[in-house]
Structure 1
Amino acid sequence: MSRRSSRSSTMDQGEFILECKAAYLSMFDSIKEKIESQDSLLEALQQTGRNPSVKVLKKYWTNDTDELSFDDFVDICRKEPVTTSDDLMKAFRKIDINGDGYISLEELHKILTSKGEKKSKSEVKTMIDEVDENRDGRLDYKEFCKMVMSTTEESKKMQRKMMERKEKKKKQEIERREKEANKENKDDDDDDEIDEECVTARSGSARSERPKPSPRKSMSETTTSQAKDVSPLRTSFKEKTEDISGSRTSLQSKDDVLLTSRRSSRSQTKDSSRSKKEKDREGLCSSRLSNSPDKLMGSNSTLQNVPDVIGSNVSLTSASGLMAKNLRQNGEGSPPIPAQRKSLLHTASSSDPDDLPRPSPRVKKDKSRQSSVSRSHKLDEPKNLREWTHTKSKGSFFMEDGSLICHQYDFNLPDDSKIWITMQPQKASRGMDSNPVDTSVFILRDRPDEDGNLLVAFTEHRDGRGKYGVSCDLSAGKYYIMPYTTGCRFKSRKSESEKEAKLVSQDKGGKYVITKAFRKVLEDIFDYSDLDGNGFMSRKEFNLFNIRTSGEEVADEEWQVVEDRIDLEDGEITKAGFLQLNELEAEDSEGDTEDLWTTLVSMGYNKQLIMDQACPFQLDVYTEDCDDAELDVVRVDSYPTYPGDLSFDDIISKSFIKHGEISRVKGMKDLCMYTYKNDGWASLVLDNKSHTRVRVELDCSRSENVISNHDSLQRTLRVDPGSTLIAYHLMPEDEDRDWQVKCTETIR
C-alpha cells in the first residue's frame, strides 16, 4: 500500500496525525517499525477506537501484503470511521434486553459476566453510579454514551502521555550513547571495552519501557457455565448479606506504596513508635486498596467485553482495552482477578564490583555454548540452628492461564540478624513426575538501596529432597519474601479429562452429601490453607482461601454467617467445620456442583480430583539474633510491579546476569547472553543494549538430559531494545544422571 499524495483538509490534520502516532507508539517503540501481521493491524486500529470487521481488514491486508508502514496506518485510519452514534445505539439496544429504553444493573451485569473478565454486581453498580446523573440506578442512552466515550477520551490522554515519555527517553538514550561513544573513541582496545561493557553497563543504562503482561483471564472461563453473583451462604441468607456487596474492595499489592531508595547494608532504624495494632492492620488490611483495572482506569474499562456480544463492526470499547494496555506499559497493570464463584460464606547481598562475573573468552562461530552441571547437591545449614528462632508458613503456587500465582510474604525484622531460609514442596498429590518441583525464594528490600538494587539474596543450593536454602545477614527492617519456581516441572495442563469425578450424591433420605473422594480432597485443601499449621483455619486464612476461590474478601456479615452455621474453636474453623460448610453449600445448591468445581479448579485440581495446577510448599525462616521476627502472608496473587517500574522478571534477570557467565552473541556488538547455574537449574538470559529490536533463534536441542520451561528446545525470541529476557530455564530430566546445557544462537 502506497501513501496517498494528497491529504484531506478535514479539521486539524496535525491533531489527527498526533493521535495516530500516539496509538501506534502504544504498540511499537518507533513509527519506523512495521506492522507485520493482520492481527497486529487489528490491534493497532483498536488503539485508535476503531474495531474493523474481518471484511474491512482483508481490504487492507491482502494475500500479497507483507507489512504496513506508519504512513499506511494513518491512511487506513483516515478512511475508516471511529465509533458513531448509530454504533452506540445498536450496542445500547443489544444490552437493553427487555427493550424498556434503559440498561439496568442486571442487564449490564449479565453482559459483562457472559463475556471476558467477570465482574461482581458491586463493581457493575460502581460503573453505573459514576455516570448515573439522575440517580435512578440505571442507564439511559445519554448516560451510556457518556460511559463509553469518557473511557475513549481517557485512553487518548494516556496514549499521549506514553508517547511523550517514550520520546523523552529516546532523547536521553541518544545523549547517553553519544557520551559513551566519545569515551570509546579514547580507548584503543575496542574489543576489551565491548566485553567489559556487557558486564558494567547494566546498572548505568536506562532501560526502555516495555509492556507489562496483560491481566490474566478470569478463571471462571474454565467452568462449564457463567459464575453467579450470590454465594451459597447468601442464597439462604440473601436478605442478611445482600447490602454488603457494594462495599467490598479487592486486594492491592502493598508494593504500590514502596518508599524511595537507600542501601540495605546500612542499619535501618527500628520504628518503635508503631503499635502492634498498627502492624496487624498493615499485615491484614493495607492491600485492600484496589489494584484492579476498574480502579486504575475507571470502571468503564470493563466494556471491552461488549463488542464480543454485539458484533465486530461496533467499536464501542476498543479504547478501554487499549487503556488497560497503556496502564500496564506504565507500570500500573492490575494483578489477575480470581474466578468468580459463590463465596462459602547468592546468598551474597554485596554489590561489590569484584563479585561480578568476568567476561568469558569469545566463542568460536562453529561451537555452541556448553555448560556441564553436576548432579551433586549441597545445603549447608548452620550448625547451631536449634538455638535460632523459627518461624514458618505454608503456601502454594497456582498455574492459571499460563500465569504463575503464589502466596507472598512480608518479613519484618526488628533487629539486625543472620537468617537462614529454606523452602521445599510439600507431599506430591499431583499427577507429576517423582522429581521435586523447584521451589526457590527471593528476598527483596522494601525500597531500593542507593544503587537501585532491590534484591538481597536468593536460594541457590538444595539437598537431594528438593529443599532450597539461603543464608545471609540482614539489617533490621521490612523485606518481601517472594517464592519462585522455574516452570520446568510445574506447567499448564495440556488438556482436561472428559470424565468428571462425582462430588455430590443423595443419601437414602434424599439429602445431598459430598462423596468420599471429594471429602478427601477438601481435607487436603484445608491442610494447605492452614498456613500456620496449627490445625485450624483462622479468619485471615479463610479470607485468603475465599479470595483465591471467589475473588472476594470475607465481610463481617459473611463471617457472622459462618459463625452461625458451624461451630468454631477459639474463633477458628476446624477441619470438620470446613467440611460442613461445603456440605451446606452442596445442600443449598440442591446438588448443583458448578461452584464446587470452581473451588477445585481455583485450588489447582482437574476433573479427576488430581492436583496438577498447584504446588504446595513449606517456607521456614530462622533468625539467630532476633526473637520477634514476623512472617506474614499478605496476598495470593501474581507478582506485583516494584519501584522503578521493575517487574519481578526484571529483578531475577538482573540477579542471573550478575551471577552468570557472560558471552557475546555472534555478530552483535550490544547483545549478550548469560548462563546462570545453581544446584537445581540453569537459566539463559539475553541482554540487549542496542537501539533496535533483535530476533534471536536459540537451539538447546543438543543439551543432554534436560527439560525446560518451554515445550520446545528451539525457539525464536524477540528482544526489545534496552531490555533483558529470560530465554530458558533448564533442569535435569533424570536427577540421578549428569546433565549438560548446550545452546547455539542465530540472529534472524
Structure 2
Amino acid sequence: MATNPGSDVTLANQKSVPSENLRTKKLPLSEEEVFYMNCRAAYLTVFKSSLENIISKDQLCLALQHAGRSPSQKTVNKYWTPQTAKLNFDDFCVILRKEKPTSKAELLKSFKQLDVNDDGCILHTDLYRFLTKRGEKMTPEEASTIINLPDVNADGKFDYIKFCKLYMTTSGQCLKTALEKLQVDSKLRRQQFGSHMEGFSERGPSPIPKPPPRIIRNSDQEAFSNKGDTRASLLSTARKFKASVSCTISMAANSNRNSTLIEPNLKDWPCVRARGCFFLEDDGDTVSHQYRMHISQRSLAHLTIKPLNLTQVEGKVSPWLSVDTALYILKENENQADFQLICLTELQNREVFGWTGELGPGVYWLIPSTTGCRLKKERKPVTEEAQLVCRDQSGELFLTQAFRAALSDVFDMTDLDGNSLLSLEEYNFFELRTSGEKCDEEAWLLCRENFEMKENELTRQGFMDLHLMEANDREGDPRDLWVTLCSLGYNRALELTEACPFVIDLHTERCKPRVKAVRMEASRGQLEKATCQSVLLKGEARAMDDDEKILVYTRSWDFRITSVIENKSDSEVIIHVNNELSKNCVNNRGLPVFAVEVAPQSTMVCQHVMPVDRRQEWAHHCVYSLV
C-alpha cells in the first residue's frame, strides 16, 4: 500500500525478500543420510508416524514397494513368520539394507531363462505354464493379467524387455513419489524416526541402528545371504502391476470437427468484459482470478475467454498468446456452498474458446482454467538482467523505458474491468499477489494525496509514480521491484513467461449481467471438482482389468484430452501412467511416464494432453497401470 513519501514506512517495505538463511546451501547428503531419508519417505507413505508399527504382511509389502522394492511372498515370509507380531521402523531399515533393489540386469536374466528363441520375447503358453505351475505359483487370473498387459504383449508373445523397462520406471517412481511427499511436509521431515533424526546442521555420520534380535534369526541367515531363485524374481516383477487399461486417440492436423465456435448475432446484446490472469506458482500449480456473475432474468448468453493481447514489441511474439484457456460456469445454490456445473467453453475459434446457451436468473461462478500444457515453469536461463531504474545527469532516479513498458502491461493486467483506472479492489488483487497484504482505506487516502487519481481510482501515471517512489525509498536498489515482477510472472529479462493475462466477454440477450472478481484461487478446489465432473459426465469410462473399483475416464476435444481417475475403493491407490507411445503430444505433468496417488473414495484429474504442433497429426496413447 502507498504512504506519504516522507514516511519511514513505505509500500516497498511490504515486499518480501528471501532471507539469507533460505539462501544458505546445505552440504550434500552422505550415502547413509540418503538411505535413511529413503526409509523415512517410504515408511511415512504407509504410516502417519514412525512410532507406528507394521502389524501385517500386507503393510510390510506395501512399505517395501514404496521404498522401490518388489518383494515376492517368499521374501515377505522371511521377515514375517508365524511368530512375528509387529515390526518397527528400525526393523524396516534393517530389511531394506538386506533387500537391495532389483537391477534391470537381474530381471532380464530371470526372463531370459524362458526365452527359447533369444529374441526378447516369451511365448504366452510358456509364460502361463511357468507362472501357474512352477515355484511360487500365480493364480490363473493373475497370470492372465500379465499376459493381457497392453504394450508388452502381441501376437501371442510377451515382450519382457519392454516389461523390464516399465517395471524399473515404476519402481523408481514409487520411491520418488514417497520422497516428494516427505519433502513438501516440513512436519514429517522433523519427525523422529526410531533412533534417527533428520538434523544436518552439525553434519556427522548418522548412527547405524543395531538390528533387533527378533529380526535376525538363525533360521533366516541362509535366506538373508540368498537373493532367491529366478522364479521368485519373475513373480515379484509380474505382480508389480495388478491391473491396467489403455487408451488410444488419434487426431487429424488442425482438427475442428465438432468444436467450431459460431458467434450469434450479438447486435444490441448488452455486454460486460472482465480481465484476469493465470499465475504460475513455484510448485507448478496455477492461480487465477475467479468471478461471480448475477443475471436478473432468463436469457440467451454467449461467453468467451481468450489470452489478453497487451502492448507488444514490434516483431516479437508474446509467449502467453498460445496458452489454452477455458471457462467453467457454475450455478450457486441457496446454501452458497454447493455449486452446479452448467457448462464449459468447449467451442473454439483460433485462440478464443466460447459457449452459447440459455441461463436462468441467479448467481453464477465463472472459473477460468488452463491445462498447464503450454503455461509451464521457465527453464531457459536469462543471460542478461534488464535494468529497471537509472539516474539522470542531476542524479535523479527515473524508470527505464523497458520497465515502464512492463509496468504498463501490469497495469492492464490489474485493470480487471478495463476502464483504464485501478479501483481499490483491483489494486488489492495486485497487492495480495505481490506482497500478501491489502491496502486499507486509510492508506488508499494517502495514495490519493500523493499520486494521480480520477474518481478515487489510480491512473496509469499514478501507478508509475508509485513504483518510482518505491525505487527512491530504496535509493535505487531494484531488489524489491524484482520481487514484485517475479511474483507477477516476469523473468529477469522483463519477459512475461510464467503468467497469462486473459479477457472474458459476456453477452446476454435480455439483460446486462453483473460480473465481479471476488478472489484468486489455485487450480485445486472448486476447479478440480468442476473438471472431474465435466469429464465424468461426458467422458468414456474404462475399468482396470479385474478391478471395477478403479475407473479411468477420458474425454477428448479437438484441441485437448483430459483423463480423470476415480477410486471407489477404501484404500489409496498408485496409478502408473505411461505416455511413451504418444506422438506429437505434450501433457501438463511434463513427463511421459509418471505416477499419481488417488485417495480412497475420490476422483482426481490425472492429466491433460494437447498437441505440440496442431498443424500436424497427433496421437495420444496411454497405459494406466495399478501398482
1:388 aligns with 2:269: yes
Are the structure 2 counterparts of residues 585 and 367 from structure 1 closer, same or farther at C-alpha, using a change threshold of 3 Å? closer
Are the structure 2 counterparts of residues 710 and 448 from structure 1 closer, same or farther at C-alpha, using a change threshold of 3 Å? farther
Q: Is the 8 A contact 2:576 2:594 kept in 1?
A: yes
Deviation for aligned residue 1:721: 2.7
Amino acid at match of 1:474: L
Are the structure 2 counterparts of residues 470 and 73 from structure 1 closer, same or farther at C-alpha, using a change threshold of 3 Å? farther
1:625 aligns with 2:506: no
How far apart are the structure 1 equivalents of 2:45 and 2:543? 35
1:191-340 superposed matches below 5 A: none
How far apart are the structure 2 equivalents of 1:728 and 1:74? 35
1:403 aligns with 2:282: no
1:101-116 superposed matches below 5 A: none
Q: Is the 8 A contact 1:486 1:709 kept in 2?
A: yes
Q: Is the 8 A contact 1:423 1:439 kept in 2?
A: yes
Deviation for aligned residue 1:42: 6.5
SS at match of 1:703: coil
1:461 is aligned to: 347
Q: Which of residues 598, 603, 613 in structure 1 aligns to 2:488? A: 603
Q: Is the 8 A contact 1:661 1:676 kept in 2?
A: yes
1:418 aligns with 2:300: yes
Cα displacement string for residues 220-258 of structure 1 (whole angstroms, at most 9, x for unaligned residues): xxxxxxxxxxxxxxxxxxxxxxxxxxxxxxxxxxxxxxx
How far apart are the structure 1 equivalents of 2:187 and 2:444? 33
Q: Which of residues 373, 392, 407 in structure 2 aligns to 1:488? A: 373
1:370 is aligned to: 248
Q: Which structure shows the higher helix fraction?
A: 1
Deviation for aligned residue 1:481: 0.4
Q: Which of residues 523, 536, 540 in structure 1 aligns to 2:421? A: 536
1:148-227 superposed matches below 5 A: none
Are the structure 2 counterparts of residues 700 and 431 from structure 1 closer, same or farther at C-alpha, using a change threshold of 3 Å? farther
1:443 aligns with 2:329: yes
SS at match of 2:535: helix
How far apart are the structure 2 equivalents of 1:424 and 1:509? 45
Are the structure 2 counterparts of residues 302 and 653 from structure 1 closer, same or farther at C-alpha, using a change threshold of 3 Å? closer
Deviation for aligned residue 1:520: 1.0
1:499-514 superposed matches below 5 A: 499-514=384-399
Amino acid at match of 2:268: E
Are the structure 2 counterparts of residues 737 and 302 from structure 1 closer, same or farther at C-alpha, using a change threshold of 3 Å? closer
Cα displacement string for residues 645-697 of structure 1 (whole angstroms, at most 9, x for unaligned residues): xx431331121121111222234232222211123211122222233333332
Deviation for aligned residue 1:553: 1.1
1:551 aligns with 2:551: no
SS at match of 1:600: helix
Could you tell me the TM-score, scaled by structure 1's length?
Answer: 0.51
Q: Is the 8 A contact 1:675 1:683 kept in 2?
A: yes
Q: Is the 8 A contact 1:527 1:535 kept in 2?
A: yes
How far apart are the structure 2 equivalents of 1:408 and 1:366? 37
Deviation for aligned residue 1:47: 5.9
Q: Which of residues 635, 638, 645 in structure 1 aligns to 2:519? A: 635
Q: Is the 8 A contact 1:460 1:680 kept in 2?
A: no
How far apart are the structure 2 equivalents of 1:489 and 1:412? 32
Q: Is the 8 A contact 1:379 1:469 kept in 2?
A: no
Q: Is the 8 A contact 1:431 1:611 kept in 2?
A: no
Q: Is the 8 A contact 2:584 2:618 kept in 1?
A: yes
Q: Is the 8 A contact 1:395 1:529 kept in 2?
A: yes
How far apart are the structure 1 equivalents of 2:353 and 2:585? 20
Are the structure 2 counterparts of residues 547 and 313 from structure 1 closer, same or farther at C-alpha, using a change threshold of 3 Å? same
Aligned residues: 425
1:670 is aligned to: 549
1:692 aligns with 2:571: yes
Cα displacement string for residues 292-321 of structure 1 (whole angstroms, at most 9, x for unaligned residues): xxxxxxxxx9999999xxx9669xxxxxxx
Q: Which of residues 508, 527, 530 in structure 2 aligns to 1:651? A: 530
1:12 is aligned to: none
Deviation for aligned residue 1:599: 1.0
**Structure 1 residue ranges without an equivalent (≥5):** 1-34, 51-59, 77-212, 218-300, 315-364, 642-646
Q: Is the 8 A contact 2:271 2:505 kept in 1?
A: yes
1:725 is aligned to: 604
Amino acid at match of 1:477: G
How far apart are the structure 1 equivalents of 2:453 and 2:245? 66
Deviation for aligned residue 1:639: 4.9
Are the structure 2 counterparts of residues 595 and 49 from structure 1 closer, same or farther at C-alpha, using a change threshold of 3 Å? farther
Could you tell me the TM-score, scaled by structure 2's length?
Answer: 0.60
- CA RMSD in angstroms, aligned pairs only: 4.0
Cα displacement string for residues 65-106 of structure 1 (whole angstroms, at most 9, x for unaligned residues): 979999545999xxxxxxxxxxxxxxxxxxxxxxxxxxxxxx
Are the structure 2 counterparts of residues 542 and 745 from structure 1 closer, same or farther at C-alpha, using a change threshold of 3 Å? closer
Cα displacement string for residues 408-436 of structure 1 (whole angstroms, at most 9, x for unaligned residues): 10111121222111000122769875872
Q: Is the 8 A contact 1:443 1:480 kept in 2?
A: yes
Cα displacement string for residues 575-617 of structure 1 (whole angstroms, at most 9, x for unaligned residues): 1111111111111110111211111011110111110110000
Are the structure 2 counterparts of residues 517 and 407 from structure 1 closer, same or farther at C-alpha, using a change threshold of 3 Å? same
2:176 is aligned to: none
Q: Is the 8 A contact 2:245 2:545 kept in 1?
A: no
Q: Which of residues 457, 466, 469 in structure 2 aligns to 1:572? A: 457
Q: Which structure shows the higher strand fraction?
A: 2
Greater relative contact order (CA < 8 Å, ≥ 6 in sequence): 2
Q: Which of residues 611, 618, 627 in structure 2 aligns to 1:739? A: 618
Amino acid at match of 2:260: L
Give the fraction of aligned pairs with identical amino acids, expressed as a percent. Answer: 29
Q: Which of residues 592, 599, 617 in structure 1 aligns to 2:477? A: 592
2:587 is aligned to: 708
Deviation for aligned residue 1:398: 0.1
Are the structure 2 counterparts of residues 417 and 688 from structure 1 closer, same or farther at C-alpha, using a change threshold of 3 Å? same
Larger Rg: 2
Q: Is the 8 A contact 1:393 1:618 kept in 2?
A: yes
Deviation for aligned residue 1:385: 1.4
Are the structure 2 counterparts of residues 718 and 383 from structure 1 closer, same or farther at C-alpha, using a change threshold of 3 Å? closer
Q: Is the 8 A contact 2:246 2:622 kept in 1?
A: yes
SS at match of 1:396: strand
Cα displacement string for residues 535-593 of structure 1 (whole angstroms, at most 9, x for unaligned residues): 22222211221121111111122112211112212222211111111111111110111
Amino acid at match of 2:520: V
Q: Is the 8 A contact 2:189 2:198 kept in 1?
A: no
Q: Is the 8 A contact 1:435 1:735 kept in 2?
A: no
Cα displacement string for residues 323-369 of structure 1 (whole angstroms, at most 9, x for unaligned residues): xxxxxxxxxxxxxxxxxxxxxxxxxxxxxxxxxxxxxxxxxx99942
Cα displacement string for residues 488-538 of structure 1 (whole angstroms, at most 9, x for unaligned residues): 000122365363221111111112222111111111111111111122222
Deviation for aligned residue 1:448: 8.0
**Structure 2 residue ranges without an equivalent (≥5):** 1-36, 53-62, 72-78, 92-179, 192-196, 201-242
